[in-house]
Amino acid sequence: MAMAIALDGPAGAGKSTIAKRIADQLGILYLDTGAMYRAIGLKAIQQGLSPKDETAVENLLNVTQLDIRFVDGAQQVWLDGQNVSDAIRTPEASKAASDVSTLPVVRRHLVELQRDIARRQAMILDGRDIGTYVLPDAPHKIFLTASLDERAHRRLLDLQNRGNTTATLAEVKADIEYRDNQDSQRSFAPLKQAEDAVLVDTTTMTIDEVVQTIIDLIEKQKRA
- The three-state secondary structure class of 2 is coil
Q: Note the pLDDT of residue 170.
A: 96
Please report which confidence band the pLDDT of residue 1 belongs to, taking 50, 70 and 90 as the band edges: low
The set of long-range contacts for 170-176, using a CB threshold of 8 Å and a minimum separation of 24, is 171/91, 172/12, 172/91, 173/148, 173/149, 175/11, 175/91, 175/94, 175/95, 176/10, 176/11, 176/12, 176/148, 176/151, 176/152
CATH code of 56's domain: 3.40.50.300
Q: Would 65 be classed as within a structural domain?
A: yes
The set of long-range contacts for 59-64, using a CB threshold of 8 Å and a minimum separation of 24, is 61/105, 61/106, 61/109, 64/40
Q: Would 56 be classed as within a structural domain?
A: yes
Proportion of the chain above pLDDT 90, given as a percent:
81
Residue 145: which of 182, 193, 97, 188 has the closest Cα?
Answer: 193
Q: Note the pLDDT of residue 224.
A: 78
Q: Would 224 be classed as within a structural domain?
A: no
Report the b/e string of 14-37 with b at 16+ CB within 10 A.
bbbbbbbbbbeebebbbbbbbbbb
Q: Note the pLDDT of residue 86.
A: 92
The total of structural domains in the chain comes to 1
**CA angle at 179 for the pair 178 and 185, rounded to the nearest 5°:** 95
Q: Would 129 be classed as within a structural domain?
A: yes
Q: Would 132 be classed as within a structural domain?
A: yes
Distance separating alpha carbons of residues 49 and 45, to the nearest angstrom = 5
24-50, pLDDT tens digit by residue? 999 999 999 999 999 999 999 999 999
| Structural domain boundaries, residue 141 | 4-219
Q: Note the pLDDT of residue 188.
A: 85
Give pTM, 2 decimals.
0.84
94-118, pLDDT tens digit by residue? 999 999 999 999 999 999 999 998 9
Distance separating alpha carbons of residues 158 and 141, to the nearest angstrom = 25
